[in-house]
Structure 1
Amino acid sequence: MLNGLKPLAATALCLLGMSVFAETATAAQWVSSGRTAYFKQSPFYSAREHTCTSGSAPTEGFPGSCPNDAFSGWTANYNAADLLASTQFSACYFDSQKLGSACYGLAYAINGYASAGGLPATCTVGTRAVVVSTRIETIEIQNHELDVDNDMSGNEYICQ
């Protein structure tokens, strides 16, 4: 009788161990690394600003001089996500003379490979990703004049 319980106990212990692992794997989530890049432009008034932050003071340039630790892949991920978000953005019809006309793009990249949309719900601990969103919109400024507001932002996330 005891010999029959040993395999059953071993199986139960194995399943318990697998359930703990599965719980840990599903508990992983995307957390901001603090590394961001932001660009805003208004062509009619040449209002431009950009920052690139790695959790400390902003650095010069956009986005290439953002610190690119060998392990982070910031530049490859940013460039891949930016290209796909810009492609989505460019495929949209935008009318700079029509108030409220707007186009958007959203993409993320992991290991230099981009996908459309926001970050996936599941991730592997330690993975880094960059999400880039773009927006252009015709807005009214003053005296019923129209202007074009253009924003692009990149945010890096780490799966923890």
Structure 2
Amino acid sequence: MLKGFKPLAVAAFCLLGLSAFAQDAAAGQWVDSGRSAYFRQSAYISAFDYTCNAGQAPISGFPGSCPNDAASGWTANYDVSSAEANSQRMACNHNPYQIGSTCYGIAYAINGHAYAGDLPAACNVGARTVVYFSLMETVAIQYEELDVNMVESATEYVCQ
């Protein structure tokens, strides 16, 4: 009877160790780093800005570069999450002649690899990600004219 107990105890001990590791990996949470980029364009309204760090005022231009880009991986994560979110939006077949027609895409990137959808809740402490949202919608403006709004935004998060 004790012969079968030892392998079972070892297996239980290993599983206990793995569950503790899983809790540590998921113990982090995503916190906004303050690094962001925002772009809005339509026939009548345009806005472009970005920030490098939390607490800094937005900077004109888009998407811009910051001294901390290389260390944070912002550029690689921004580029691939932008491509993924925009490909989702483009696949939607937006109708610029129909009020209310809306298409969007959302993606996040970690270490230069893009993933479709929302950012997962669990993260590894120290990881950085860029979440990118892309929206195109047809709206009515003054005198029942149609306008197509395009909004793109990116926000960097750090797992802490």
**TM-score normalised by length of structure 2:** 0.82
Q: Which moved more, 1:112-121 or 1:60-69?
A: 60-69
Q: Which moved more, 1:125-134 or 1:139-148?
A: 139-148
For residue 83 of structure 2, what is the aligned residue in structure 1? 83
What is the identity, as a one-letter code, of the residue corresponding to 2:86?
S
For residue 50 of structure 1, what is the aligned residue in structure 2? 48
- What is the aligned-residue identity percentage? 55
1:142–1:76 CA distance, 2 compared to 1 (3 A): same
The structural deviation recorded for 1:28 is 1.0
The structural deviation recorded for 1:149 is 1.1
For residue 130 of structure 2, what is the aligned residue in structure 1? 130
RMSD over aligned Cα atoms: 2.3
For residue 9 of structure 1, what is the aligned residue in structure 2? none
The structural deviation recorded for 1:146 is 1.1
Would you say the 8 A contact 1:59–1:65 is kept in 2? no
Note if 1:73 corresponds to 2:73: yes
- CA deviations 1:11-57 (Å, max 9, x no partner) are xx999887665543332111110111000001x22x21111112212
What is the identity, as a one-letter code, of the residue corresponding to 1:52?
Y
Would you say the 8 A contact 2:69–2:75 is kept in 1? no
**TM-score normalised by length of structure 1:** 0.82
Would you say the 8 A contact 1:102–1:137 is kept in 2? yes
1:97–1:69 CA distance, 2 compared to 1 (3 A): closer
Equivalenced residues, count: 148
1:148–1:17 CA distance, 2 compared to 1 (3 A): same
Which consecutive unaligned segments of at least 5 residues does structure 1 have? 1-12
1:145–1:112 CA distance, 2 compared to 1 (3 A): same
